[in-house]
A and B are shown apart, each in its own frame.
Chain A
Amino acid sequence: MKRRQLPGGCPLWLIERPGPAILSAKLWLRGGSSADAPGRRGEAQLLAGVLSRGCGDLSGDALADLVEGCGAGLRCEAAEDGTLISLKCASGDAAQLLPLLLKMVNQPWLLDDQVSLERQLNLQTLQRQREDPFQLAHDQLRRLLYGTGPYGHDPLGLDEELAQIGVEHLRQRAAGFGQDGAVLVLAGQIPAAVEELLLQGLDASSWPCRAPQRAAGPVGSGRSAFATSNDDTEQLVLMLGASTTPLGAEQALALRLLHCHLGVGMSSRLFVALREEHGLAYDVGVHYPARLGDAPFVFHLSSSSDRAAEATGELLREWQRLLEQPISQEELELALAKFRGQEALGRQTSSQIADRHALVLGHGLPFDFADRCLAEAATLTPADLQAAAQSLLAHPSLSLCGPADALQQAEAVWQRQGFSC
């Protein structure tokens, strides 16, 4: 592993790997959908989508010809905290393709015609997503946990606001790339003179930007709330969650172990309690993404609408148990084994390695953050995990999507058994 710096300030990490002749590159730019201005929600994703539709001396068609002609993969996507440009190619093609990364960021064409195509595609995707009850329940939970705050919307945005975003907005937004922090990670077989390749074709001989810093991220409401969405489905979808704490914050690792305990693998607590012991669901689990701000920690479950009351009761009971009882030492050891196992499984390919490091570095955390967590996790006790649950999970919100009678039954259970506001 080598650490370099590109002229202008962008940190560059090179992770050489033996084996197949593949190169994976990840450019992580701080500032994703959480930085969308009110009235322009969906902007970061729209911009990400048009970056590959022409840059520098290449039209959108020429760029697609080059990338697809090499059989390579190039993706630009906005998430909540950042925009990620990913390239994966045969290492023999790296010299042709690496210059694209900074060109896309520094010299995007952003043609009106291409922006309107991409905007239309995003609007259609938003429409299609509304046929998925899980998506509906998830979007509703976002609003409960984050209101109209930075994490309150899907990166695709809101229909009426997305429709208003124009080329000028995107130009301004693109001009800020790198100012809030950027980092580039390459893993695999890395070509010689890689810095020159990366800077090739830029107007200036440098790209002014800075390394990502630790900074406070978006916060959640911290209150308990309840919402339903009436849909004519067979099943009731339940999402029970709270906004918690950023990646790398004091109690985040304890929550990560609780996530392993509750939701990782077929021996996990929720899987065993709700699926194996009660046959209540096929799909049950925990969603706990890494975030710069207050990350959501969510139980999800879908169950036949005629078992709505039972499913709601059991799910709430599992949450309550976290607050009331420490897990056993045996359960903690199993959670640790899963945490270590996941780390090992997440380091199989060049892309996975580059991706994990780009995420950690993009959050302003040290390169060896994952290893430090592995060491620190072994020192945590059941009491530490319970304390984290008590301080971060005391006021969950419940989001439901399903038919009216199931919603009623579930709401009655929530009223009886739910969490105070």
Chain B
Amino acid sequence: MPASDAQPPQPLPEPRRSQLANGAGIVEIDLPEAPVVCLDLWCRAGSAWESAEQSGIAHFLEHMVFKGSEQLAAGEFDLKVEALGGNSNAATGFDDVHYHVLMPPEAAPEALDLLLDLVLKPRLEHDDFNLERQVVLEELAQSEDQPEEVAFQELLRLACPDHAYGKPILGRREALEAHTPASMADFHQRHYRAERCCLAAAGPLADLNLVSRLAASPLAELPRAEAIPPLQPLQLQPGRTRLELPRLEAARLLMAWQLPGAADQDTVMGGDLLTTLLAEGRRSRLVEQLRERLRLVESIDLDLNVLESGCLVLLEAVCEAERIDQVEQEVRRVLLELQEPLPSEAELERARRLVGNGYRFSLEVAGSVAAMVGNSQLWGRHHSLQQPLTWLQHWDPGRLSRELIPLLHPDRAFSLQAVPA
């Protein structure tokens, strides 16, 4: 393959990192050409920090935040942000939660003040709480009407027993019905603390003076956290099961493996390479064998979910119910063939180019840059934007085969067959 870099690659912008006196993190990336600024507030307050009774409270809190704060009435934040030509959203994961706004650059200072007030000083008003609980229960019902989501939830429950990653982020219905504004305020006060929060900004930042602005903001007033036990390490249980699901039209083979946690970003890049080599594009091993040659599946995907307690590799193959055993055997065979001999350098180079370009393409958007550096900063990872591309180059067939391929052995997977009832 001829070299792609005919012209010298442009250097990537560097993240500027700082910290407020109370330990809250700040990271900025100046993208002078971008048409919008993204402000992204991250907090170590995903569902993995819930106790059993708190099931679903991290995500429910994320909803309640938009119902107003000390200074903002319910809905006022959205109205102000959107009237300035921006938009906002939030997402709750297992490990963390983040709240982000995209704004025209001139409106970014105002949006910053609004965002911090909103997230750090939520009102949690009683009537709004009861109404929003209905919305969360509707969200749960909507996901239960998608049999594919039901199957994935069941896979995680069985593969990650006694771990937060095996429990639904949306929560259990009975637990949701028992939550109160007071129990939610407790969760907020415990987890939305200085060293557990960080603010990321990406876009044209020249006029924002972010650090001095934040020093006089509610982020600087946050108390430090009490001692909170760290997340429990993940121990994925291999196994097999079969499930009959109503309303399923096509069968699914789902499989889950564990890789090292997100702290090891070098290995995360290796995992990205390996899943790409196996299932990204027509010439990847699983797609070529199962979809193109044997024609057993409609689609086959392998996703790397980057998580703090242990990354999860999830496979999904969609096929006719009567072919599902054959599909499982073929997946096994492809994975066993990967164990030896070594993959070729050319095969690895294809994957490297796909992963590298995917990463470079994602840097075009302020929102994805802010999310990337915000998440890294939150978890104490301080590498440059260039670093993942360097790590990528250091994976060769031998190292991949020694360090990662054995972890994707079929016997290390939990495998679930979901078939129409």
- Whether, in the assembled complex, A244 has its beta carbon less than 8 Å from a beta carbon of chain B, the answer is no
B104 / chain A contacts, CB cutoff of 8 Å:
341, 344
Cβ contact within 8 Å between B361 and A22: yes
- Size of chain A's interface in residues, with CB distance under 8 A? 68
Cβ contact within 8 Å between B249 and A127: yes
Q: Whole-angstrom distance between the alpha carbons of A60 and B292 in the complex?
A: 11
Q: Whole-angstrom distance between the alpha carbons of A21 and B136 in the complex?
A: 43
Q: Whole-angstrom distance between the alpha carbons of A70 and B147 in the complex?
A: 37
B110-149 interface code vs A (CB 8 A; 1 in, 0 out)? 0000000000000000000001111111110110111110
Chain A residue nearest to B131 (CB atoms) is: A279
Q: Counting chain B CB atoms within 10 Å of each CB, which of A131, A233, A347 scores highest?
A: A131
- Whether, in the assembled complex, A176 has its beta carbon less than 8 Å from a beta carbon of chain B, the answer is no
Q: Whole-angstrom distance between the alpha carbons of A352 and B343 in the complex?
A: 36
A15-53 interface code vs B (CB 8 A; 1 in, 0 out)? 000111110000000000000000000000000000000
A358-387 interface code vs B (CB 8 A; 1 in, 0 out)? 000000000000000000000000000000
Expressed in whole angstroms, the minimum distance between the Cβ of A74 and any Cβ of chain B is 10
Q: Whole-angstrom distance between the alpha carbons of A120 and B355 in the complex?
A: 29
B134 / chain A contacts, CB cutoff of 8 Å:
279-280
Cβ contact within 8 Å between A344 and B10: no
Indicate which residue in B74, B86, B248 contacts A276 across the interface (CB closer than 8 Å): B74
B280-308 interface code vs A (CB 8 A; 1 in, 0 out)? 11111000000110010011000000000
Interface segment, B31-39, B47-55, B220-228, B399-407? Answer: B31-39
Q: Whole-angstrom distance between the alpha carbons of A10 and B280 in the complex?
A: 33
Expressed in whole angstroms, the minimum distance between the Cβ of A131 and any Cβ of chain B is 4
Cβ contact within 8 Å between A267 and B78: yes
Q: Whole-angstrom distance between the alpha carbons of A91 and B7 in the complex?
A: 9
Q: Whole-angstrom distance between the alpha carbons of A121 and B6 in the complex?
A: 38
With contacts A234-B145, A304-B137 known, is A20 near B10, CB below 8 A?
yes
B53-91 interface code vs A (CB 8 A; 1 in, 0 out)? 000000000000010000000110011001111111000
Indicate which residue in B6, B138, B361 contacts A304 across the interface (CB closer than 8 Å): B138
Cβ contact within 8 Å between A90 and B283: no
Cβ contact within 8 Å between A64 and B249: no
B210 / chain A contacts, CB cutoff of 8 Å:
none
Indicate which residue in B75, B86, B350, B363 contacts A69 across the interface (CB closer than 8 Å): B350
B35 / chain A contacts, CB cutoff of 8 Å:
344-345, 347-348
Q: Whole-angstrom distance between the alpha carbons of A265 and B141 in the complex?
A: 22
With contacts A69-B353, A71-B354, A120-B295 known, is A345 near B137, CB below 8 A?
no
Q: Whole-angstrom distance between the alpha carbons of A310 and B298 in the complex?
A: 40
Expressed in whole angstroms, the minimum distance between the Cβ of A34 and any Cβ of chain B is 25
Indicate which residue in A64, A125, A265, A341 contacts B283 across the interface (CB closer than 8 Å): A64
A272 / chain B contacts, CB cutoff of 8 Å:
75
- Whether, in the assembled complex, A92 has its beta carbon less than 8 Å from a beta carbon of chain B, the answer is yes
Cβ contact within 8 Å between B36 and A88: no
| CB within 8 Å of A: which B1-59 residues | 1-7, 9-10, 33-36
- Whether, in the assembled complex, B102 has its beta carbon less than 8 Å from a beta carbon of chain A, the answer is yes
Q: Whole-angstrom distance between the alpha carbons of A61 and B35 in the complex?
A: 40
- Size of chain B's interface in residues, with CB distance under 8 A? 75
Chain B residue nearest to A74 (CB atoms) is: B281
A276 / chain B contacts, CB cutoff of 8 Å:
74-75, 131
Indicate which residue in B85, B281, B295 contacts A64 across the interface (CB closer than 8 Å): B281
Q: Whole-angstrom distance between the alpha carbons of A67 and B138 in the complex?
A: 43
| CB within 8 Å of B: which A291-313 residues | 302-304
Q: Counting chain A CB atoms within 10 Å of each CB, which of B36, B83, B133 scores highest?
A: B83
| CB within 8 Å of B: which A109-143 residues | 117, 120-121, 124-125, 127-133
Cβ contact within 8 Å between A20 and B363: yes
Q: Whole-angstrom distance between the alpha carbons of A340 and B35 in the complex?
A: 12
With contacts A68-B350, A92-B4 known, is A265 near B78, CB below 8 A?
yes
B6 / chain A contacts, CB cutoff of 8 Å:
92
The 8 A-B pairs at the shortest CB distance, nearest first, are namely A71-B353, A279-B134, A341-B85, A282-B139, A124-B298, A266-B78, A71-B357, A92-B4
Further pairs besides A130-B249, A279-B131, A348-B364: 10, Cβ < 8 Å: A19-B10, A21-B7, A61-B282, A70-B357, A71-B4, A121-B299, A264-B82, A265-B78, A277-B131, A348-B366
Give chain B's interface residues, CB within 8 Å of chain A: 1-7, 9-10, 33-36, 66, 74-75, 78-79, 82-88, 102, 104, 131-139, 141-142, 144-148, 246-250, 280-284, 291-292, 295, 298-299, 318, 320, 349-350, 352-358, 360-361, 363-366
Pairs A–B under 8 Å by Cβ, sample size 22: A18-B33, A21-B7, A61-B283, A68-B280, A68-B284, A69-B1, A70-B4, A71-B357, A127-B250, A131-B249, A232-B246, A233-B145, A233-B247, A234-B142, A266-B88, A280-B138, A282-B136, A303-B138, A304-B137, A341-B82, A348-B34, A349-B365
Give chain A's interface residues, CB within 8 Å of chain B: 18-22, 60-61, 64-65, 67-72, 88-93, 96, 117, 120-121, 124-125, 127-133, 231-235, 264-267, 272, 275-283, 302-304, 333-334, 337-338, 340-341, 344-345, 347-350
